[in-house]
């Protein structure tokens, strides 16, 4: 009897092709579509995505299950998202969604459906190293999603298949088109589902009160007014609305700091030194399997502080209690508290931590 695989089917092209490939390999494929947000205002595409998932399952002749995880998403992901913004940080909810939902409650539900394995359409690869589940980069460097999967447990990875892990995106599109899948030309989703296509500020203002304050230079000169610190992130250039200022060069302005105590946004022009840092402090470190050896004395590895950034050489030192210090060989631009620093040994993802402060 073939193994049953419960595939997370979003209604997009990637998971649809993953379903087709798994069926080709002889697995007993069941699709599980998740609703993670109440579609109460027309911005989220949950209803349309469910319909697309149904069409794909009809074409591939596989069963479709549907489950609503909106309550768990609000409790485990969205509340964290809001709390981080209250603290003036810039969170990445996709990381928590993977850990808490897709490889948490989804996995539990899949096991109740009789699944031997789970699968998703992520561009990543899983394997077993020293008897434990391990995570590796996807073959397509432009689409690799290991950054967003770094907080998934070794136990979950040991029972997970990533059918697209060795494929480039272009080939996935070609497979979908060649097979006539209903979603072959569907646009890739971008951003966060619960925000959808609406303006970010409009969405956030519905949950957190805006608190305008001064925009100032590192020297203390006031050059404008911000709409609320939560709307800005370090390194941001667009949307500052700072006009020409006398005796100032014609250089772009960047956000270089946020002062919660004074409710002030600090900006500087050009490649200002405040945009760069060689070290960061991180908290809530999590490793895929056992923590790597050598942390106490300083572990040399590579890391990235944002998705799509090339891996950067660094030394990571454990400080106890899930705290880390990371020192980079080269200065890093716009390292942002609330985002994640993710560590690699060649193509293997070791884990990551939440960026807490820069220095």
Which residues are catalytic, by number? 97, 193
- Is residue 85 within 8 Å of residue 206, measured between CB atoms? no
HSE-up (13 A, CA, CB side) for residue 45: 19
Phi first, then psi: what are they for 262, rounded to 5°? -95, 0
**Cα 288 to the chain's mean position, in Å?**
16
For tokens 């998971």, what's the residue? 15
Radius of gyration of the chain (CA): 22
**What is the torsional sign of CA 218, 227, 96, 145?**
negative
């Amino acid at each position: 009897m073939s193994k049953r695989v419960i595939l997370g089917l979003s209604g997009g092209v990637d998971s649809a092709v993953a379903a087709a490939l798994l069926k080709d390999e002889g697995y007993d494929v069941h699709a599980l579509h998740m609703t993670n947000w109440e579609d109460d205002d027309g911005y989220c595409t949950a209803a349309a995505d469910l319909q697309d998932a149904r069409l794909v399952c009809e074409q591939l002749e596989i069963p479709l299950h549907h489950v609503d995880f909106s309550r768990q998403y609000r409790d485990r992901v969205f509340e964290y998202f809001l709390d981080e913004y209250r603290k003036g940080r810039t969170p990445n909810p996709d990381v928590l969604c993977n850990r808490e939902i897709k490889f948490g409650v989804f996995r539990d539900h899949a096991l109740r459906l009789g699944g031997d394995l789970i699968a998703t359409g992520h561009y990543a690869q899983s394997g077993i190293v020293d008897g434990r589940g391990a995570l590796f980069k996807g073959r397509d460097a432009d689409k690799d999603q290991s950054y967003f999967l770094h907080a998934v447990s070794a136990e979950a990875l040991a029972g997970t298949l990533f059918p697209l892990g060795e494929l480039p995106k272009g080939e996935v599109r070609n497979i979908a088109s060649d097979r006539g899948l209903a979603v072959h030309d569907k646009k890739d989703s971008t951003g966060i589902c619960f925000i959808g296509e609406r303006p970010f500020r409009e969405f956030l203002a519905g949950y957190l009160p805006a608190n305008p304050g001064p925009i100032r230079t590192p020297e203390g000169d006031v050059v404008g007014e911000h709409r609320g610190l939560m709307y800005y992130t370090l390194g941001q250039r667009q949307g500052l609305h700072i006009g020409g200022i006398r005796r100032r060069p014609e250089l772009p302005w960047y956000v270089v700091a946020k002062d919660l105590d004074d409710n002030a946004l600090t900006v500087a022009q050009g490649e200002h030194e405040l945009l760069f840092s060689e070290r960061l402090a991180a908290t809530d470190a999590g490793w895929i399997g056992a923590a790597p050896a050598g942390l106490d004395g300083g572990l040399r590895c590579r890391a990235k502080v944002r998705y799509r950034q090339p891996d950067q050489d660094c030394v990571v030192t454990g400080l106890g209690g899930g705290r880390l210090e990371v020192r980079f060989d080269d200065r890093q631009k716009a390292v942002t508290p609330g985002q994640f620093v993710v560590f690699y040994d060649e193509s293997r993802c070791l884990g990551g931590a939440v960026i807490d402060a820069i220095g």
